[in-house]
Structure 1
Amino acid sequence: MSSPPHIVLPWVVRRTRLPLLSLRCVDCPSESATTGRGRFRVNANGKLLDVWLLINCVSCDRTTKLTVHERTPVSSFDPDDLEGYRVNDADLVASRLLDPLLARRCHFTLDWTDAWRLDVPSERHDEVWPLRVEVTFTDPVPVRPERLIAHGLGLSRNDVRRRVKCDVPLRRTTSSGFTFTVLAAD
């Protein structure tokens, strides 16, 4: 019977930039787009608003619009959101881009390659086993726990499979927090 972990370490997965969009360009063979400077375009038609998020092709810089709201009554908008659309608020751009409903409606996926980092406490606890780690995500970055743990601990993936007990499947992609315990080396 193993004793409970002595130390609980917090790991945080943070977004370093907005992810690229996997979306086919109509002008060139590129399959990647970016939000560029993160801008909205708002068009008023009477008391109805259309709101688009402007994206640019990575290769040819062609601007394309992703529909955020279409023919929506002005009265149904939160005043803070309206102001955010007007001033191109960076947090609002990120929240709309990371919205899975928008991705499904506009037929794009997010490419998180080089768009996140893992923050691990700098102190080492090599003497204390078992070691418990709580992983939290500031944004829904899809990662496989097995790879994240191997990177954070500097272990091979085989060592991770042998020494780590995790509350989520190690080989299944997740974008929400999880907890794992690292056992001492044999």
Structure 2
Amino acid sequence: MSSPLHIVLPWYVRRTRLPLLALRCVDCRGERATSGDGRFRVNANHKLLDVWLLVRCTGCDRTSKLPVYERVPVGALDPAELHGFHVNDPALVASRLLDPALARRGRFALDWTGAWRLDAAPVVLDGPWPIRVEVVFADPVPVRPDRLIAHGLGMSRGEVARRVKADIALKRATSGFAFTVLAAD
């Protein structure tokens, strides 16, 4: 017995900008969002290097440093990576800012509000066949699949719970998943 025919559509979750950092500012004393300036500071102390990622408070414009490396021998760093620190490589800034180890050490969380978009083909929900959607994440954007599906399909989360069968639990995802939209009853 064959399975019923269905339509397969791709959805892509893409980063539009770097996320803001929820980090307490020492000047304005508030829990201010800060943004990565896209710059590193490299400081040499004899044969040891310190590398910091510079971040700026969006409230008072104060610049702070997040330690990337502290007191590391020069020879321990990859020469290409060290060159990237010196020229403020945007891809290196993004990879360091999205690194969970740096967030843990720097005691900050990433605020993804307004920093991502969903590129989705229009979905016709009135068809007789189930619709299969495959979601691909270009960056590790933490988004609840049920909210993403509701946003993409233009339906309530309650209706998503009734009409959508997903390959994963609809809690939080940062990697690809697929789901099927069943025909309306």
Q: Which of the five TM-score ranges fits, normalised by the shorter chain? A: over 0.9
- What does residue 182 of structure 1 align with? 181
Q: Structure 1 residues 122, 185: closer, same or farther in 2, change over 3 A?
A: closer
User: Is contact 1:16–1:117 with CA below 8 Å preserved after alignment?
Assistant: yes
Deviation string 1:94-114 (CA, Å, 9 cap, x unpaired) is 000000000001100000000
**Moved segments of 4+, more than 6 Å:** none
Give the Å deviation of 1:5.
4.8
Q: Residue 43 in 1 paired to residue 43 in 2?
A: yes
User: Is contact 2:14–2:117 with CA below 8 Å preserved after alignment?
Assistant: yes
Q: What one-letter code is carried by the residue in structure 2 that aligns with 1:121? A: A
User: Is contact 1:39–1:53 with CA below 8 Å preserved after alignment?
Assistant: yes
Matched position secondary structure for 1:175: coil
Q: What percent of counterpart residues are identical?
A: 68
Matched position secondary structure for 1:21: strand
- What does residue 162 of structure 2 align with? 162
2-structure distance, mates of 1:29, 1:129: 55
Aligned-CA RMSD value: 1.7
- What does residue 116 of structure 2 align with? 116
Give the Å deviation of 1:129.
1.9
Q: What one-letter code is carried by the residue in structure 1 that aligns with 2:66? A: L
Q: Structure 1 residues 29, 180: closer, same or farther in 2, change over 3 A?
A: same
Give the Å deviation of 1:22.
0.4
Greater displacement, 4-13 / 97-106: 4-13
TM-score (norm 1): 0.93
Q: What one-letter code is carried by the residue in structure 1 that aligns with 2:181? A: V
Give the Å deviation of 1:78.
1.6
Matched position secondary structure for 1:53: strand
Q: What pairs up with 1:1-186 in 2 under 5 angstroms?
A: 3-31=3-31, 32-36=33-37, 38-122=38-122, 124=124, 126-127=126-127, 129-170=129-170, 172-186=171-185
1-structure distance, mates of 2:2, 2:59: 55
2-structure distance, mates of 1:151, 1:173: 15
| Number of residue equivalences | 184
1-structure distance, mates of 2:110, 2:136: 20
Q: Which runs of 5+ in 2 are unaligned?
A: none
2-structure distance, mates of 1:43, 1:29: 28
Q: Which runs of 5+ in 1 are unaligned?
A: none
TM-score (norm 2): 0.93
Give the Å deviation of 1:29.
3.0
1-structure distance, mates of 2:128, 2:80: 48
Matched position secondary structure for 1:114: coil
Matched position secondary structure for 1:66: strand
